[in-house]
Amino acid sequence: MKEFAIINTRLPKVDAWAKATGDARYTDDLSMPNMLYGALLQSPLAHARIKSIDISRAKRLPGVKDVITAKEAGLIKYGVSPARYDETVFCDQKVRYIGDEIAAVAAIDLETALEAVSLIEVEYEELPILLDPFEAMKEGVIAIHDEFPNNICAEVHQEFGNVEEAFKECDYIRTDKFVNKKQDGAFIEPQSCIAFYDLNGNLTLTTSTQTVHYVQRTVAMVLGLPVGKVRVTKPCVGGGFGPKASANTIELASSILSMRTGRPVKMTFTREQVFQHSRARHQFWHELTTGVKKDGSLIALKNTCHMDGGAYSSFGIATVYYGGSLLGAPYKLPNMKYDGYRMYTNKPANGAQRGHGGVVARAAWEQQLDVIAEELGMDPLEMRLKNMMKRGDTTCNDFNMSSFGMEECLEAIRDGSGWKKKKGKLPKGKGIGVACGFFVSGAGFPIYRSETFHSTAMIKLSEDGGTINLYTAAADIGQGSDTILTMMAAEAIGVRYEDVRVLSGDTDFGVDLGAYSSRQTLMSGHAVKQAGEDVRDQVLEVLSRNFKIPVEDMDIKKGLIIFKKKKPDFSVLRSTYIKEHRGWVDPPVGDELTFKEAARVAYFEKGVVVGRGSYKPGDLGGKYKGAAVGTSPAYGCSAQVVEVTVDMETGKVTIDDMTDAHDCGFAINPTNIEGQMQGSLSMGVGEALFEEIKFDDKGRVVNPTLGEYRIPTALDMPNVNTIIIESNEPNGPWGAKEVGEGAIMPTIPAILNAIYDATGVRVRELPVTSERLFTLMKEQEKK
Amino acid sequence: MHLLPKFDFYEAYDMGEACKVLAEMKSEGKIIAGGTDIMVNMKKGLLSPKCLISLARIPGLSGIEPTSGGIAIGSNLIVSKLLEFDLIRKKYNLLSKAASVLGSPLIRNRATIGGNIVTARPAADLPPPLMAMGARVVLKSKGKERELALDDFLVGPGQTKIKSTEILVSIIVDEPPPFTGGDYIKLMHRNALEIAIVAVAVQITLDGPDGSIKNARVILSSVAPKAIHAVSAEKVLIGEKPTEKLFKKAAALASTDCTPITDIRGGAQYRCAMVETLTHRALSAALRQIKGK
Amino acid sequence: MKRIITLNVNEKEYEVAVAPNRTLAQVLREDLNLLGTKIGCDMGDCGACTVILDDRPVNSCLVLAVQANERKITTIEGVADGPHLHPVQQAFVEHGAIQCGFCSPGMILSAKSLLEKNSKPTEYEIREALSGNLCRCTGYQKIVEAVKAASQTMKK
Ligand SMILES: Cc1cc2nc3c(=O)[nH]c(=O)nc-3n(C[C@H](O)[C@H](O)[C@H](O)COP(=O)(O)OP(=O)(O)OC[C@H]3O[C@@H](n4cnc5c(N)ncnc54)[C@H](O)[C@@H]3O)c2cc1C
Ligand code: FES
Ligand code: FES
């Protein structure tokens, strides 16, 4: 096994000290001289025509500097995927959900801005409200967007193999339905931004985002500015999980307000606005028909999915594809058919959330597989093992398993959880369940069609050679990419962790598509590794010329130059360095030539020493329509065993134990990986047991608080036996691939399967509240 | 951020002063104790009093005093203290049990017992155990004082018999007689930061170590506009030997005593069923406590 | 009308003029520039705004600044001893208990407060003490491990 100095260790995160002491700054912590505060006017109605807007009273309020509506902001359409740009900064003719933005105000303080908002008068003509996507699809109902008369925002029809033919060969076929509820990202930091348009015509937007690059492009397009004039930068971000992965209204509104007033403008969501903006997990209705042979081999899957999209597309086009494409895998499945429909409704738009598009399909299918295993009299874990793909396999929809530690994952959780001792042997009220998961390690294509690099990196040495500055536009939103990329840079060059300073999350630092689809470790990692190696090579080449030693005979380790053969005399070099830096506190010492000195030599020769790296995935196969969604340079996989106790008299579920194994290719930092796994599982527990955005019949979110929208507390999460599996991904830097999203995949179905084991009840609607389970148990008793 | 509406703030240093200011404000002044309820309502725009009068600096409002046959709990006592005082934990453990599941530790460090009563949420955690223990509340206004059974004080959601000039000063609880046991069970979605789906408080007293039930109070919460007595359950318990069969019967009757609604936290039918389950469990726990098990 | 109040924050006295309708969280952040105190919900539901007020951790978004007049407040900025991290902070750093870090100031203050009252908490006591502080990133496990580790080092 290869030895590493930096990667594959548990170094603390680069930003942990700042975050532990309160020094870390998030967007809302920042302010600028002369800054104005913005506020939004949002629709109180779910569907209405705007007859008139009167901003005159608001404008006259002392302290108000600007009021803008669609008239001032323009009607350029934007969104996530260029195929479905369906939003404008402000509503023009119509409002489409409660919270839809109508106007914005900039004023000297928040109080004045809010008062001005209350003075804007809007006349509405109410329209019929569509809250149910199945209603919205019906003939003759009102169109939420004129361009989409059936309110079908997107549909997908795919077939791989021949499902109907394949069903004829099956010994057992069953159909099940499954539905979840609209979820929320529930990151603890509400979105916030500060826009400043300066006298030179440069816009700097500081914002709580996962994707500076996409926000830059959207803002430039909507404001009609050259991309180069728009700089988007993020300070610390307090979690994102998907909803912060695209441009939002406050980013656009504050930019426009700043352009018009010439002053910095800050806007921050309240928690209620976070819920209204949403862009989180869709509600999905899946109908799955699976056919198998007597021996348990999976033959065919028919998957029909309807999705409640909300009022706009957001990430929905990708979501509707992911709702189909992530199934099949991790199993060998030769035939698969998928029909997906995403409908517009008068609710906050749904978008992407951890495990984009795949979580509910996974929950539905993994539970169905459990039923099938039982019907066939097989152990569900063994049935999974039997069908598992291996490294080198390709799915029927053309995904290539270039590495695949799935068998290892299953064996690890089987042995780690004591599965064999427990399955089928627990008393009533206690249960154990298993499930598998599968996810992309970065989207194979950017959201807009382009040949763009997905990640670039630049490493620049300070002229004294002592500091290595890593520049990347990758976004650390808490998942730890700054740490991982710092470790990678240090490893690639051969220096110490503390010698590298990471500067990230800024469009000035390069192109990086950002923190979504679990891409940064692999993609940004590649770019950083390349940049680091470039720096290393440049420094060694200079040394080689100086000392007349071939590059191959040298190496850099822990900040020291290793001469594999004879060590040259570098005393002149050292004394020069020390003389030059007389009075400095850190003169190079010891018997070895330091990287610092070597870098100084390189500086003398080159002036600037810059290493460059860039990455885009190669040709990834899949030529069918929609192949862009789901193809990835690598795939992560995972398996979980969950143990529960069900209070048979109340229906309340307690998660007692979780065993989770995830194949991340190679662990750059095991502590971070475990953190991603445990965090994913807690989000899965929340979605399985509690989380649900509820609406009244007018389309209003009735629980827009973290009190009534329940994410797990410390008392709701058990400890997780967290097992890392490494499969050495050939397409990943040092063999690494994703962990951030895939880890959530098995959680919900493993819980559902455990609940069945405990109660004999199959729950096919989330969340499994005590009431839902109790009611189902009662129904079962009656039968 | 949610800005609070504008108001004036008055910090009283003794009861007389507080009563005077409250009287002067007519109904436009409001008491602020821990603020965990009133501030949320004000931020949501549901309330905007002209003046908030704080009781925090008034001496003697935040303690527990012995009375003949029981204790008087100062209205401004924070909920955390109900968990910390040995006396409460040992003799009035129903109350500390309810306190332990109120909100979160952070909330409990601000929320007061008085605030929990006056705010009169149908699902508030402290009224059920207090009613099960037969608590009374002491109300003061300028030159006047009156005492009311908590049963009578609570009227409905957000409604009590308090007058706009009155301040709740203390809660009087009698020491549970010998052979008494009780329990408080709160059914919640999460294990913290929860308002009850259903909660039940029970206190029963036997007339001897193996005797019959002399007194029984069964309080149901979150299943009616306010915490209520399960009247028919109480009736069937009193005078009988505490048996499993009796508890089952009482629990079933309790579920007919309530009139829950379906709301965001749970359905009416489920709530009725849970009243039965929790009542049975609470009665059994109460008996175990008496028997010292 | 503004009131002049005195806040004793992190053992320093501050005199500030505040309107009664401003919360302690607002005044700490906006007037005293103590930005380590976060606002996640502003309604008492998340604990990001936790500060220690007279020895008890509380939600500073539900405390009026005027209510804190003449009281002792510890914010996250007052936990470390100069450059030396408090054992709880050190353990959070070392055990990977911090991801996005938005909950961390509140978590650390709740944990510190617990360990000052109970130097040997059980796992349940730790989880209970942190149950008013929501974390969406970590699943709490590494936070709990960090608090356990800190209790060990603090005993020494
Ligand atoms: C996140 C969160 C979670 C919560 N969880 C729970 C829970 O699980 N269970 C629960 O029961 N409650 C819960 N609550 C509600 C609240 O914390 C409690 O009701 C608390 O006990 C209220 O006390 P307080 O001192 O904060 O009241 P305040 O908000 O100060 O006052 C509440 C009301 O009572 C009046 N009042 C207060 N004291 C007096 C007095 N002495 N005389 C006359 N009037 C008075 C006030 O004018 C006001 O109308 C929660 C609140 C929050 C924010
Ligand atoms: S911000 Fe105070 S509890 Fe959430
Ligand atoms: S670390 Fe992100 S919320 Fe806790």
Answer yes or no: do B266 and A771 touch at CB < 8 A. Answer: yes
Amino acid present at A51 = K
Taken in order B67, B69, B74, B75, is the CA torsion positive or negative? Answer: negative
What chain C residue is nearest to B4 in terms of C-alpha separation?
C21
Which residues of chain A are under the pLDDT cut of 50?
none
Mean pLDDT, chain B, rounded, equals 96
| Packed helices C104-117 and C141-155: angle between N→C axes, nearest 10 degrees | 40
**Residue C85 with chain A: CB contacts under 8 Å:** 17, 20-21
**Residue A114 with chain B: CB contacts under 8 Å:** 3
Q: Which ligand is nearest to the CA of A13?
A: 3
CA distance B178 to chain A (A): 31
Overall average pLDDT of the B241-270 stretch: 95
**How many residue contacts between B and C have a Cβ separation below 8 Å?**
88
Identity of the residue in A270, A713, A774 whose CB atom sits nearest the CB atom of B193? A713
Instruction: Report domain extents, chain A.
Output: 27-127+188-239+244-277, 364-445+630-782, 453-615
- CB C8 within 8 Å of CB C71: yes
Identity of the residue in C45, C66, C69 whose CB atom sits nearest the CB atom of B193? C45
Interval B125-135: pLDDT, tens: 999 999 999 99
A453-484 exposure pattern, b = at least 16 Cβ within 10 A, e = fewer: bbbbbbbbbbebbbbbbbbbbbbbbbbbbbbb
The answer to whether A27-127+188-239+244-277 and A364-445+630-782 have equal CATH topology is: no
Identity of the residue in B5, B8, B56 whose CB atom sits nearest the CB atom of C67? B56
Cα A765 to averaged position of ligand 2 atoms, centre (Å) = 31
Provide the CB-side half-sphere exposure for A754 (13 A, CA): 33
Delimiting residues of CATH 1.10.150.120 domain(s) in chain C: 87-153
Is residue A679 exposed (0-12), middle (13-18) or buried (19+ Cβ within 10 Å)?
A: buried
Q: Which residues neighbour B75 within 8 Å (Cβ) at sequence distance 6 or greater? A: B33, B55, B61, B112, B113, B114, B115, B117, B167, B168, B169, B170, B171
**Residue A679 with chain C: CB contacts under 8 Å:** 99, 136-139
Which 3 state secondary structure label does DSSP give A82? helix
- CB A329 within 8 Å of CB A396: no
CATH architecture of A27-127+188-239+244-277: Alpha-Beta Complex (3.90)
B43, B264, B280, best to mutate vs chain A, most A CBs in 10 Å: B264
CA distances from A762 to A302, A485, A640, B23, B266 (A): 20, 44, 18, 60, 21
CA distance C40 to chain B (A): 9
| Antiparallel, parallel or unpaired: β A335-344 and A455-461 | unpaired
- φ, ψ of residue A355 to 5 degrees: the values are 85, 30
Q: Cα(A539)–Cα(A460) distance, rounded to whole angstroms?
A: 12
Delimiting residues of CATH 3.30.465.10 domain(s) in chain B: 64-174
Q: Cα(B229)–Cα(B233) distance, rounded to whole angstroms?
A: 9
Answer yes or no: do C102 and A26 touch at CB < 8 A. Answer: yes
Which 3 state secondary structure label does DSSP give C141? helix
Q: Cα(A135)–Cα(B259) distance, rounded to whole angstroms?
A: 34
Is residue C72 exposed (0-12), middle (13-18) or buried (19+ Cβ within 10 Å)?
A: middle
What chain B residue is nearest to C43 in terms of C-alpha separation?
B40
- CB C71 within 8 Å of CB C53: yes
Interval B71-128: pLDDT, tens: 999 999 999 999 999 999 999 999 999 999 999 999 999 999 999 999 999 999 999 9
Q: What is the CATH number of domain C87-153?
A: 1.10.150.120
H-type helices in B92-153, by residue range? 93-100, 105-108, 113-118, 127-132, 150-153
pLDDT score at A594: 97
Q: Whose CA is nearest to atom 4 of ligand 3?
A: C135
Q: Cα(A85)–Cα(B258) distance, rounded to whole angstroms?
A: 53
**Best of C35, C38, C42 to mutate for ligand 2, by most ligand atoms within 8 A of CB?**
C42
pLDDT score at A2: 65
Task: Give bridge partners of residue A87 from the DSSP assignment.
Answer: A78
Q: Cα(B86)–Cα(B92) distance, rounded to whole angstroms?
A: 9
Which atom of ligand 3 lies closest to the CA of A188? 3
H/E stretch holding A697 reads none
C42 close to ligand 2 (CB < 6 Angstrom): yes
C57 close to ligand 2 (CB < 6 Angstrom): no
pLDDT score at A628: 84
Q: Identify the residue whose tokens are 């009281």.
A: C71
**Residue A188 with chain C: CB contacts under 8 Å:** 38, 40, 46, 48, 100, 102-103, 134-136
Delimiting residues of CATH 3.30.390.50 domain(s) in chain B: 180-291
H-type helices in B59-149, by residue range? 79-84, 86-91, 93-100, 105-108, 113-118, 127-132
Delimiting residues of CATH 3.10.20.30 domain(s) in chain C: 3-78
Chains interfacing with B (3 or more CB pairs < 8 Å): A, C
- Its pTM stands at 0.98
Q: Which two tokens stand for residue A464?
A: 């004294």
- φ, ψ of residue B246 to 5 degrees: the values are -65, -45
CATH architecture of C3-78: Roll (3.10)
CA distance A650 to chain B (A): 7
Q: Whose CA is nearest to atom 47 of ligand 1?
A: B31
Amino acid present at B223 = V
For residue B27, name the pLDDT band (cuts at 50, 70, 90). Answer: confident
Integer-rounded Cα Rg, in Å, for chain A is 28
Q: What is the CATH number of domain B180-291?
A: 3.30.390.50
Q: Cα(C76)–Cα(C146) distance, rounded to whole angstroms?
A: 17
Q: Cα(C106)–Cα(C94) distance, rounded to whole angstroms?
A: 18
Which atom of ligand 2 lies closest to the CA of A706? 4
Chains interfacing with A (3 or more CB pairs < 8 Å): B, C
Q: Cα(A325)–Cα(A356) distance, rounded to whole angstroms?
A: 11
B116 close to ligand 1 (CB < 6 Angstrom): yes
Q: What is the CATH number of domain A364-445+630-782?
A: 3.30.365.10
Q: Which two tokens stand for residue A130?
A: 């569509």
Confirm or reject CATH 3.40.50.300 for domain B8-54, answering yes or no. Answer: no
B64-174 sits in which CATH class? alpha beta
Q: Cα(B201)–Cα(B178) distance, rounded to whole angstroms?
A: 18
Cα C40 to averaged position of ligand 2 atoms, centre (Å) = 5
**Best of C104, C143, C144 to mutate for ligand 3, by most ligand atoms within 8 A of CB?**
C104
Q: For a pLDDT cut of 90, what percent of chain B falls above it?
A: 94
Q: What is the CATH number of domain A453-615?
A: 3.30.365.10
Q: Cα(A682)–Cα(C139) distance, rounded to whole angstroms?
A: 5
Q: Which two tokens stand for residue B213?
A: 């039930």
Interval C30-67: pLDDT, tens: 999 999 999 999 999 999 999 999 999 999 999 999 99
**Best of B107, B169, B219 to mutate for ligand 1, by most ligand atoms within 8 A of CB?**
B107
Q: Is A715 on the interface with B (CB under 8 A)?
A: yes
Q: Which two tokens stand for residue A264?
A: 């910095």
Identity of the residue in C77, C133, C137 whose CB atom sits nearest the CB atom of A239? C137
- CB A760 within 8 Å of CB A699: no
**ipTM confidence score:** 0.98
